[in-house]
Each structure stands twice: as C-alpha cells, then as structure tokens.
C-alpha cells in the first residue's frame, strides 16, 4: 500500500506537469495569435421561435493555432482572462462582429442583432465602455442592435466599476443578456439588481426537456419568469425538432442551436442569410 501511495503521487505530479506544460504552451502561442491572424470570429444564428427566421447572430471565437491546431474557447478564453490578453482579443471580436453585422444590416435586415460574449476581466476594464462607444461609432452600428452576453461570473467580483459600466451600457442603449442562466448560484438576485434585457437559458436545461419532466418544468418556469420581468428569453443548445416544438409551445422568444445551424465562418453565415432572403 506504501507503493500504491507513491504511484498515486507520481501519477498526480506527472499529470500536473503535463497540464502545466500544456497551459504554458497555450499561453505562449496565444500571445502571438492575434498578430499571426490565427483567430477568427464565427457566427451562430439565433432564430425567432415562431417564424424560425434568423434575426441575429452570436459571435463565437475560434483559434486555429499553427502549432497546437484547433484550440477550443473553453480552454483558451480562461487563459486569455488570466493573462489579460482578453482585452485586445475582446476588441478584435467586437471589431469583426460589428463589421459583419453592419454589412448584414445593410444587405438583409436593418434590425439584425449581434450578440457578443464579454468576460469578467474585459468588463472590469475602465476603458471598456469607451472602446465600445468608439467601435459603435466607427462602424455606424445602432446601439439597440447590440447585445452583450455576460455570465454571473462578471457580477460576482462586486467591483464598483461593474455597476458603473452596466449603467453606462444601459444608458447608451446596448442590451445586456444573462448567459448560462440557471447554472450559477446567484442568477436570481442578479436579475433583480441589474438592468438585464435578455435571459439565455443554459443548454444543459434544454438538452433533456423531451425526456425529463423536471427539466421541462424548470425551462417553462424560467420562460414565464423572464416574461414576467419583461425580458426576452433565448433557449441555447436546441438540437432537435422535438425540443423546438416544446419551446414553441412554452412561448420561448428565440432559439439557438445545431438544429438551426452550427457556428459558421462569416462567408458561410452570409450564404445562410442569402438563402433565407430568397425564400
């Protein structure tokens, strides 16, 4: 048993070394990813549940590293956060998303909505609101067509700058969406205290609505509560027609998920809009 203890110890140190090396390699490559043009903004449509028409897109970052291959956002976004790289990367996402959204507003729908994920460090920057205003101005984007998706992690720090940034954003007319609703501990109290416009029900609740009556009940309650608070409700991770029909019956406003489309490169997303315009 002494031996087994030692082996377990070796296993853990080995695993920790491995994780640490990977992390360092990712960090090192991420530092030059922007300069090397390895980052690309993809777009996933969200549709109006009743008409099934595309009304906007969520910008989702992709990183195809020369050295590491495809690295998922779930791996590199936290590292971008910890290193502060998220500030320049976040601005890159906004520039690309606004450029594409402006084109689609001119060519397809003047009210086309663009949703952008903002992480805690990014949101706590005192230059964030100014940067946002400048980008809205440069791209001539109407603030009301922009939505910032934040998770409760953004609000958790209690930093006073969060409050002032939120009210500035609200004042200029940009919408704020609570992402991953239902997965945190404090979503409800945050909904009460902050000026949210949209509630995005986490995909983990949508996944089983056709088989788990409890999940169906929870999603129905979240939608009803959102509407009671005058919020737009979005379901993420819609993968099947059955899920779609239940969400329609529950009067969910918008849906997003593989059933409608995976996140796509800009040109492919534009093809989708063209196809829709023809029908």
What residues make contact with ligand C2E under the rule CB under 6 A? 44, 59-61, 72-74, 77, 93, 117-119, 149, 179-180, 203, 236-239, 257-258, 263
Q: Which residues contact 244 (CB under 8 A, 6 or more apart)?
A: 49, 238, 255, 259
Quote the least distance from Cβ 55 to Ca ion, whole Å.
16
Task: Select 179 or 253, whichever has its Cβ closest to Ca ion.
Answer: 179
Query: What residues make contact with Ca ion under the rule CB under 5 A?
Result: 117, 149, 179-180
Q: Pick what 73 binds: Ca ion, ligand C2E, none; C-beta below 5 to 8 Å, kind-dependent.
A: ligand C2E
Task: Select 46 or 244, whichever has its Cβ closest to Ca ion.
Answer: 46
Task: Select 166 or 199, whichever has its Cβ closest to Ca ion.
Answer: 199
Quote the least distance from Cβ 2 to Ca ion, whole Å.
43
E-strand stretches of 66-184: 69-71, 113-117, 146-150, 175-181
Quote the least distance from Cβ 51 to ligand C2E, whole Å.
19
Task: Select 1 or 136, whichever has its Cβ closest to ligand C2E.
Answer: 136
Quote the least distance from Cβ 149 to Ca ion, whole Å.
4
Task: Select 215 or 239, whichever has its Cβ closest to ligand C2E.
Answer: 239
Task: Select 149 or 152, whichever has its Cβ closest to Ca ion.
Answer: 149
Cα distance between residue 51 and residue 44, in whole Å: 17
Quote the least distance from Cβ 13 to Ca ion, whole Å.
31
CB half-sphere exposure, 14, CA atoms < 13 A: 6
Name the token pair of 143.
């603030």
Q: What are phi and psi of 94, to 5 degrees?
A: -65, -45
CB half-sphere exposure, 154, CA atoms < 13 A: 25
Residue 72 CB coordination number (10 Å): 10
Quote the least distance from Cβ 207 to ligand C2E, whole Å.
8
Q: Pick what 152 binds: Ca ion, ligand C2E, none; C-beta below 5 to 8 Å, kind-dependent.
A: none
Q: Cβ distance 254 to 219 under 8 Å?
A: no
Q: Cβ distance 50 to 69 under 8 Å?
A: no
Q: Which residues contact 246 (CB under 8 A, 6 or more apart)?
A: 209, 210, 216, 219
Q: Pick what 273 binds: Ca ion, ligand C2E, none; C-beta below 5 to 8 Å, kind-dependent.
A: none
């Amino acid at each position: 048993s002494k031996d087994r203890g030692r082996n377990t110890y070796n296993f853990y140190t080995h695993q920790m070394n491995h994780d640490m090396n990977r992390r360092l390699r990712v960090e090192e490559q991420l530092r030059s990813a922007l300069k090397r043009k390895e980052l690309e903004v993809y777009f996933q449509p969200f549709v109006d549940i009743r008409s099934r028409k595309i009304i906007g897109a969520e910008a989702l970052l992709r990183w195809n590293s020369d050295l590491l291959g495809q690295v998922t956002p779930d791996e590199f976004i936290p590292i971008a956060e910890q290193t502060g790289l998220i500030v320049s990367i976040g601005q890159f996402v906004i520039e690309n998303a606004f450029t594409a959204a402006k084109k689609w507003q001119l060519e397809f729908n003047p009210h086309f909505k663009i949703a952008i994920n903002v992480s805690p460090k990014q949101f706590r920057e005192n230059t964030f609101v100014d940067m946002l205003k400048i980008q809205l101005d440069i791209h001539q984007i109407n603030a009301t067509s922009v939505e910032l998706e934040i998770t409760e992690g953004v609000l958790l720090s209690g930093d006073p700058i969060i409050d002032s940034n939120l009210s500035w954003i609200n004042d200029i007319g940009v919408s704020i969406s609570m992402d991953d609703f239902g997965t945190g501990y404090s979503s409800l109290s945050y909904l009460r205290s902050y000026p949210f416009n949209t509630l995005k029900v986490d995909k983990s609740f949508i996944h089983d609505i056709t088989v788990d009556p409890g999940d169906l009940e929870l999603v129905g309650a979240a939608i009803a509560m959102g509407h009671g608070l005058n919020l737009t409700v979005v379901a993420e991770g819609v993968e099947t027609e059955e899920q779609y029909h239940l969400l329609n019956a529950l009067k969910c406003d918008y849906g997003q998920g593989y059933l409608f489309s995976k996140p796509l490169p800009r040109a492919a997303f534009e093809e989708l809009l063209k196809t829709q315009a023809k029908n």
